Homo-oligomer: A and B are copies of this chain.
Amino acid sequence: MKPIKVGLLGVGTVGAGTFNVLQRNQEEIRRRAGRGIEITMVAARNLDKARAVVGAGVEVTGDPFAVVNNPDIDIVVELIGGYELPRSLVLQAIANGKHVVTANKALLALHGNEIFAAAQDKGVTVAFEAAVAGGVPIIKALREGLTANRIASVAGIINGTTNFILSEMREKGLDFATVLKQAQELGYAEADPTFDIEGVDAAHKLTIMSAIAFGIPVQFDKAYIEGISQLQARDIRYAEQLGYRIKLLGITRRTQTESGEGIELRVHPTLIPASRLIANVEGAMNAVLVQADAVGASLYYGKGAGAEPTASSVIADLVDVTRLATVDPYCRVPHLAFQPNQMTDVAIVPMAEITTSYYLRVYVKDQLGVMADLTRILADAGISIDAVLQKEPGNQVNLDIIMLTHQTREKNIDAAIAKIETLPAVIGKVTRIRLETLS
C-alpha cells in the first residue's frame, strides 16, 4: 500500500523534529500504522533552511496555500504558530477534505469552535495531541481513556518555561528576574517570554482541556490568567517552610456557585502541599492531574515542549488518522500495537544476561580482613563498587556489610556471590537486590 502523504506547514523546531522522527523511526511507525507516512511537501519562510532539513526528495515551497490546495496531500500538519494565517490555512485544508494535525494551542483556544465545526461538517479529523503538554498523551487520556467518568477537575503544570523558573527560584533562592535571564540564555525561555511567564500559553492549553473534560465550547476569553512575574523569592521560601511548593497551575473544575453549576477556568501561581506527586514535578517537565468520579486521581507526566517530544504527539496523531484511513475500523488499533503481520520475535533474554546494578548485603562475623576479601572478589569479577555501608543489626558481634555495585551482568554478580559465600567470615546467604537508576 502506498504511503499516506503529508504536507508540512512550518519547518521550525517542531517541524524539523517531526520530519526527523518520522525519518528515523519510519520502519517502527509503518509497522504500527499499517502503512508508511511520508512528508512529501513542506512550506517554510526560509526555503534554504527548510531544504537543509528535508533534503532533495521533498518539495519545498514558500506558499503554505500551495500545500493546503495540493490534491496529492492527504493530511496537513500545521506547525506555523500564531492565529490568523493558521486559521485560514486550516479552514482551507478542511474545505479541501484534508485531515489536519496541529500543535497550535493558541489557534484552537481562540478559533477551535469554528474549526471543529467545519471539520465535523466535512467529516475530517483535526487532531491536536501536540497542543497540550507536548509529548504527554493527555488529550487521548481525557478524550478516550477516561470516558467512563464524570470529571471533577483537571489541574496541570502545562508550561515548562515557568516551571523551570519556579524550580530554579526555589532551589537556588534567586529572584524572578535573575532566573528568567538564565532561562533565556539556556533556551528555556523565549527572547519575548510574555506568553509563557504571564500564563497565556498555559491558559490556551487549559482552555482546550476544559472543553474536553466537561463537554463545553472552548472559551479562552473567559479564562482568568495570572503569571509568575510578580512572584517574590521570599514567598517561595515561606511557602516551603510551611510545607508547600509554588507552581503555575492551570485549574479547571466543576463548582457550585450561588447561581448553580459552573466551571472554574484559571491559571495562577498556586501553593501545593509538597508531599503531592505533582508538587515534585521539577524543571521544564509537565504534569496533569485529573480527578474523576470512577478512576479517582490520575496523573500524566512528561516533557511538555521541545522538538522531539512535541513531534511524538504530532506523529501519534498522524498514525491515528492513517490507521483510520487504512484498515478495517475494528482493527484500527492492532491488539498488540503493531500490525499482526509486522510482529517480530526478538528473544527474551535469560536473567544471567541482563545488566543492572546491585545491592548486596553480606552478614559477617566482625573479623579483620573480610572487607578486603569482599572487594577483591568483586574486583576480580570486574565489578566496581558505588557505595558501602556497615551496620550492626542487633548484637555487637556480627556485621551487615552493604554494598551498591555499578552495572554488571547478572551472571558475573552471581559468580562473585558464590565465591563470597565460601568465605569463612560470611554467615548464610548473601542478600542480592537489583538496583535501577531509571535515568
Which residues from chain A sit less than 8 Å from chain B, CB to CB? Answer: 17, 21-22, 24-25, 28-29, 31-33, 99, 112, 116-117, 119-120, 123-126, 129, 134-137, 140-150, 155, 211-219, 222-224, 231-232, 234-235, 238-239, 241-242, 244, 246, 249, 251, 254-255, 257-258, 261-266, 268-273, 276-278, 280-281, 289, 292-303, 308-309, 311-316, 319-321, 324, 328-338, 340, 342-349, 351, 353-355, 359, 361, 387, 389, 391, 393, 400, 402, 404, 431, 433-438
Contacts and interface: CB of A to CB of B under 8 A. Distances in A.
Given A335-B119, A436-B270, A295 B301 contact: no
Given A148-B312, A224-B351, 10 more contacts: A25-B150, A137-B298, A140-B145, A148-B313, A216-B344, A235-B361, A269-B434, A294-B311, A299-B300, A300-B300
Contacts of A262: 346-349, 353
A299 B302 contact: yes
A146 B32 CA distance: 10
19 contacts: A21-B149, A25-B293, A31-B215, A99-B330, A116-B340, A120-B331, A135-B294, A140-B144, A148-B312, A216-B345, A234-B400, A238-B359, A242-B389, A257-B353, A263-B347, A272-B437, A272-B438, A295-B303, A295-B309
Copies of this chain present: 2
Contacts of A244: 359, 435
Contacts of A231: 433
A295 B135 contact: yes
B270 A294 contact: no
A119 B330 CA distance: 10
A360 to B, nearest CB: 10
Nearest to A273: B437
Best-buried of A119, A328, A433 by chain B (most CB within 10 Å): A433
A148 B234 contact: no
Which secondary structure characterizes the binding site on chain A? mixed
A140 B144 CA distance: 8
Contacts of A335: 112, 116, 119-120, 125-126
A438 B216 contact: no
A298 B345 contact: no
A155 B436 contact: yes
A254 to B, nearest CB: 8
Contact of A333 (B144, B263, B277, B330): B144
A148 B29 contact: yes
B302 A301 contact: no
A301 B277 contact: yes
A148 B238 contact: no
Given A316-B147, A433-B246, A213 B337 contact: yes
Given A211-B336, A249-B436, A241 B99 contact: no
Contacts of A254: 346
B217 A438 contact: no
Contacts of A214: 344, 346
A266 B235 contact: no
